Amino acid sequence: MKKINLDHRFRENFNWPLLFTALGLIASGLINLYSTSGANQAEEFSSTPFAKQMIFSLVGLTGLLSFFFFDYRKLKSLAWPLFGLSLFLLIAVKFYGITAGGATRWLPFGPFRFQPSELTKLSVVLLLSFFLSRRHYPRGLDFKDLVRPLVILTLPFVLILKQPDMGTALHLILTVCPLFFFIKFRPRVLITVISLIAAGVVWITCLGGQQFLLKHNFIKPYHLARYRYYMSPEESPTGQGWQIIQAKSAIGSGQIFGQGFQEGSQQRYGFLPAPETDFAFAALAEEWGFVGASFILLLFFGLIWSALNVVRASGENFGAYLALGLTSLIFWQMTINLAMVVGLFPVVGIPLPFISYGGSSLIINLMAITVIANIGLNRYFFQEESIRQNPRIWQEGVTEPKQGLNPVRRLAPPNPEEPEPYPEHRLPHRKPWLKYLRNPDKALGYQYKTNL
Amino acid sequence: MSSQVPTFSDNPPDFSRQIAWLKVFFCLILSVLLLRLWYLQIVSGEEYRLKSEKNHTSLTDITTPRGLILDRSGLVLVDNQLNYDLYVTPGEVSKPEELAREVSYLTGRDAQELSKKLETLAKKQKYNSQLWISGLTRADLVGLKTRHYQLEGVTVQINSVRQPTQENFAPHLVGYLGEISPRQLGEEPYLGLKQGALVGQSGLEQSMETILHGRKGQRLTTVDSQGRVLEELKVDYPEPGYNIRLTLNSRLQRVAQSLLGEKAGAVVVMDPRNFEILALASSPTFNLHDFVGGISGERWKSLNDDPFRPMENRAVGGQYPPGSTFKIAMALSALSEGVITPETAFSCAGALHLGGSRFGCWARGGHGTVNLHRSLKESCDVYYYEVGRRLGVDRLARAVRKNFGLGQTLGIDLKTERPGLVPDQAWKQRRFGKAWNFGETLPVSIGQGYLLTTPLQVAQYTAVAANGGTLYRPHLVKEITDFEGHLVRRVEPEVLNHMDLRTDYFQSVRRSLDAVVNEPGGTGRRGQIPGVRVSGKTGTSQVISLDRYQVYSRGGVLPWKYREHAWFTSYAPTDNPEVVVTVLLEHAGGGGANAAPIAAKMMKAYFDTSVDTNVLPPYQVQPDKPAGWQGEL
């Protein structure tokens, strides 16, 4: 049997924590879903949400594997077409969409329902990172630099808001915010932006902005009601406040170690609303307690943290922006959902990435993770061609590491004459204890011979 | 253009600062979430655990039938009637409109109202069976049962409702059920009952609550958010209430109520050998059927505002001066205290002058020389003034309290029992802050003044005289049995006191009481009945002072409320007494003329079992007015 041996560059530079935290989250989500969907009692196992989610995870993970061997820069050429497609779909929703719960958000897609606004988020992130990476802004973003990005943003935003889908629209805005702050604003722009936000808040809270928005159908009365019941759920314990009260009771009753797997009474007897999707975390916290809930938070922490490390080390603008945008996409989903579930934010329909049931959301998040990991591999994996063109490039480009900055680590291609021309640039070992083993080189996987 | 971007730049963009800020921001948000979780799960976890526990378990009561009330012979007086009610589970109804129409057709109720009720029920609890229509008739049932296969989510349930079996039978005694009051909720016999529970609110239903009520069961179930019952966790089966068998003879009770007729008053029929109450009637009365299923506010108000107090049980709760009937108690007390002997004689000149006041005898001309026999037979007041003077009020009070249980409740099984009043020096000091005036002893010794007794207490001292000095505890309950009829407890006569008095003294008092009815010149001649020798004592107790009578005797008709109460208390047969009958008529005039005939009829009914209510007039129910009522108060 042939020994499977990954290229050591891949093994050393691939962002393993990113993958493992994502896998851990998917596994936790499946375990939780097994309990919340009552899969053990279902007559037909294959039709339970649990089984469906299993299939989606497998499909998503297979896709993830194949995406590793794909140069993310090819996405640049997809940026505009994808944006156009999502705008087209958003407009199509207006006419052919499925209406449910007073909102038209879905397109019929065979037996499935497809939500174009999910795709829109991805395509806006892609387009904006492409758009912003084309130029350098050494002094930060000026007003004129903001015009076109804002147009790109506003079109889908208004379309989504009109569906109406307040949660997704808000999520879209929050997702792209870090991109702008990442590039930095010029001071005058920053002051203007901050004062505009302040003015907007004042207008909505004090000066009748609510009425204006209500009148022009940007927000619906139920949004205001949701906000009010978020502020005081006891006003309507059976109506709007029900979800918040029940979610809080579910989480709180988990106490330290939880009520046990499949023992959560709030979700088992149907008191917890949407325990499979929006309030999955509440069900999890009920069954696994503070320990389980903080474990999930820890996994998210690892995921976002390593994704941010990818952004830092990406060494290239488009990759950095794209990775940042995708990280932000996952981060805000997580934050909004968790804040909603623990009662720190009004109820909006944003699922928790990897944990909540939902095939399209899972696949899109896995795609995001794949692209981030892909960006992390950037310099080490996809530069074969340029090295082939100029084999000495690594010699020419060597500079002294700058103070206060991580050295740009590079690896030369496997060279039979000089296996490690720059050992100081080798990445820190993932397995530091291996050096105490008898044959560290072999243990570390350096397969090539040292003396020819 | 993208391919032109150098992929292997020596000066890659440096994002360290931005990333550091983003990481700080990220950590901040995560720690907020973590703190929130800490607060929810650890700080207030216990509270939320309880909340969720309460969420999914439901404790429902299993009701149990109340015990029956039977009369002496085992005849059921108060029964549990089965009420057929229609229940509906709104969640199982697919076409509510059609169902409402169908049920309205079958039961003859308004379809619109039915469907409106169904809607409100659906809002309350969708998946629980709830009361839709109460009190189905037999015809409704037939229709519903034949079409049952067409009616979704509809069930007929049988509930028990308290139902007196006889029209207007002893309402004061039996009592009625009512919703538990907020004050009762925290009190002893009602602990564990919930708001809206039906409990006895008067009569035996109230005082025997713990016995009749039984123990309700409870069922602990898990429910889902829709209120559907998922599984049964624990069942505590109920115990039905115990039945009580009364000492009451329902025939005598009906006769007593009939005899009172439209007069206001009370009749007590008691067995002197063990103080079992055979009949206890009070008039005017109310209709117990008004209380079945809750009384209307209007009716309740009219009952409470009625000046003749139909809700009051006069037999045990009405307090009146006993008048001359008290002379039985006085004679026995004086004899036992050694103040007089049967031969002691005083001279009656129509009045006794004492300390400048005149205390008159009812016979203006006086009785001449009076001994004990004549004093009872002719009811001489002056004789008893003298006896009272010799006894002194404190000794008198002590003797009647001890020997006859006056001035206290002896614990007949009714909450409305009142103690009456036996005054003494300490009482006056307490009540008025003044010393006892010696002249106040004299009215007390003829059953006037501050003295107050209930008709039951009058029956008590009559019975003590009849049975030779033993005071038992008067009681209404003879036996308590469980719902299968097994004996739980038998109420034995309980001796409270035995009077320390020579038998020949007793004999002389009883001879005198016999003379009241049977000898010429006796005041209670109308108490005679053929075949049986009756002994008794009349009484006419004044409500206002004699001076006031003078005013009215000159001015014409005395208003109803100022007229005297008529008393007659008797026992029979004279030699071997087995029944005591005490009759009180409020504001009816002289006892010998008004009360004695009623007592005689009562006696006759006791000895002649063929006498029944069929031949007697129907009895008085509020709001009719008592006899003699002329519209003024």
Closest CA to B408 of B521, B496, B486, B491: B496
- What gap in Å lies between CA A344 and CA A348, rounded to an integer? 12
pLDDT in tens, B468-523: 999 999 999 999 998 888 899 999 999 999 998 999 999 999 999 999 999 888 88
* Residue A8: predicted pLDDT: 59
Q: How far is A186 from chain B (nearest CA, A)?
A: 15
Q: What tokens does B512 get? A: 């005198």
CB contact under 8 A, A379 and B38: no
- Predicted confidence at residue A360, as pLDDT, reads 81
Distance CA A283, CA A270 (A): 11
Q: Does A186 touch chain B (CB under 8 A)?
A: no
- Asked whether the predicted pLDDT for residue A373 surpasses 60, the reply is yes
Q: Look at A318 and B37 and tell me if their CB atoms are within 8 Å.
A: no
Asked if A15 and A310 touch (Cβ cutoff 8 Å), the reply is yes
Q: How far apart are alpha carbons B480 and A222 in whole angstroms?
A: 64
Q: Which of residues 301-320 of B touch A (CB under 8 A)?
A: none
Judge: B41–A256 Cβ closer than 8 Å, yes or no: yes
Instruction: Give the C-alpha distances (Å, rounded to integers) separating A304 from A123, A169, A300, B403.
Output: 20, 22, 6, 96
- The CA-atom distances, in angstroms, between A439 and each of A16, A419, A451 are 24, 17, 16
Higher pLDDT, B310 or B193: B310
Contact A77 B44 (CB under 8 A): no
Interface test with B, best of A71, A342, A384 (most B CBs within 10 A): A342
The H or E element that residue B57 is part of is strand B57-62
Helix (H, G, I), strand (E, B) or coil at B109: coil
Of the pLDDT bands very low, low, confident and very high (cuts 50, 70, 90), residue A175 is: very high
The two structure tokens encoding residue A438: 């008898």
When scoring B25, B41, B58, B127 by the number of chain A Cβ atoms within 10 A, the one with the most, hence best to mutate, is: B41
Report the alpha-carbon distance of residue A174 to residue A196 in Å, rounded. Answer: 16
Is residue A373 included in any domain, yes or no? yes
Residues in B touching A256 (Cβ below 8 Å): 41-42, 45
Of B93, B150, B146, B145, which Cα lies nearest the Cα of B118? Answer: B93
Is A444 domain-assigned? no
Please answer yes or no on whether A304 and B26 come within 8 Å at the CB atom: yes
Q: Does the residue A407 lie in any domain?
A: no
Q: Is residue A405 part of a domain?
A: no
DSSP secondary structure string for all residues of A62-105: HHHHHHTTS-GGGGHHHHHHHHHHHHHHHHHHHHHPEEETTEEE
Is B60-246 a CATH 3.30.70.141 domain?
A: no
User: Exposure of B24 by Cβ count < 10 A (0-12 exposed, 13-18 middle, 19+ buried)?
Assistant: exposed
Interchain proximity A405–B46, CB inside 8 Å: no
Distance from CA of B34 to the nearest CA of A (A): 7
Classify domain B250-296+305-615 by CATH number: 3.40.710.10
In which band, very low, low, confident or very high, does the pLDDT at B285 lie, cut at 50, 70 and 90? confident
Over the stretch A85-130, which tens digit does the pLDDT of each residue have?
A: 999 999 998 888 877 766 777 888 777 777 888 889 999 999 999 9
Q: Of B260, B248, B389, whose CA–CA distance to B330 is shortest?
A: B389
Q: Using a CB-CB distance cutoff of 8 angstroms, which residues of chain A are in contact with residue B49?
A: 252-253, 255
Give domain status of residue A424, yes or no.
Answer: no
Tens-digit pLDDT profile for residues A277-319: 888 999 999 999 999 999 999 999 999 999 998 888 777 788 8
A400 is a domain residue:
no
Q: Is A413 on the interface with B (CB under 8 A)?
A: no
Note whether A375 and A310 are within 8 A (CB).
Answer: yes
Better-predicted residue by pLDDT, B225 or B575: B575
Residue B282: is it exposed, middle or buried by C-beta count within 10 angstroms (0-12/13-18/19+)? buried
As for how many domains chain A has, the answer is 1
Q: Which member of A254, A265, A386 has the closest CB to residue B7?
A: A386
Quote the minimal CA–CA distance from A451 to chain B in Å: 30
Tell me the pLDDT tens digit for each residue of A394-432: 444 444 444 444 444 455 555 556 655 555 555 555 555
The DSSP code for B39 is: I
Q: How much is the average pLDDT of A130-159?
A: 88
Q: How far apart are CA B368 and CA B349, in angstroms?
A: 6
Does residue B164 carry a pLDDT above 70?
Answer: yes
Predicted pLDDT at B549: 66
Judged against a pLDDT cut of 60, whether residue A257 lies above it is answered with: yes
Both tokens assigned to A152:
């790109």
Domain containing A177 equals 18-378
Given a contact cutoff of 8 angstroms between Cβ atoms, the answer to whether B263 and B283 are in contact is: yes
Runs of H (alpha helix) within B572-620: 591-607
Residue A436 lies in a domain: no
Residues B310-341 have pLDDT tens digits of 888 999 999 999 999 999 999 999 999 999 99
Q: Among B52, B226, B231, which would you mutate to test the A interface (most chain A Cβ atoms within 10 Å of its Cβ)?
A: B52
Indicate the burial class of A151 (C-beta count within 10 angstroms; 0-12, 13-18, 19 or more).
exposed
**Chain B window 37-76: which residues touch A at a Cβ cutoff of 8 Å?**
37-38, 40-42, 44-49, 51-53, 55-56
The span from the CA of B427 to the CA of B404, in Å, is 19
Compute the distance between CA of residue B135 and CA of residue B139 in angstroms, rounded to an integer.
12
> How distant is the Cα of B76 from the closest Cα of chain A, in angstroms?
48
B33 touching A, CB under 8 A? yes
Question: Which chain B residues touch A251 with a CB distance below 8 Å?
Answer: 37, 40-41, 48
Cis peptide before B573 (omega within 30 of 0): yes
- Say what the ipTM of the complex is: 0.82
pTM of the predicted model, to two decimals?
0.60
Residues 208-237 of B with CB under 8 A from A: 222-226, 230
Q: Which of B15, B19, B47 sits opposite A252 (nearest CB)?
A: B47
The domain ranges of chain B are 60-246, 250-296+305-615
CB contact under 8 A, B41 and A293: yes
A445 assigned to some structural domain: no
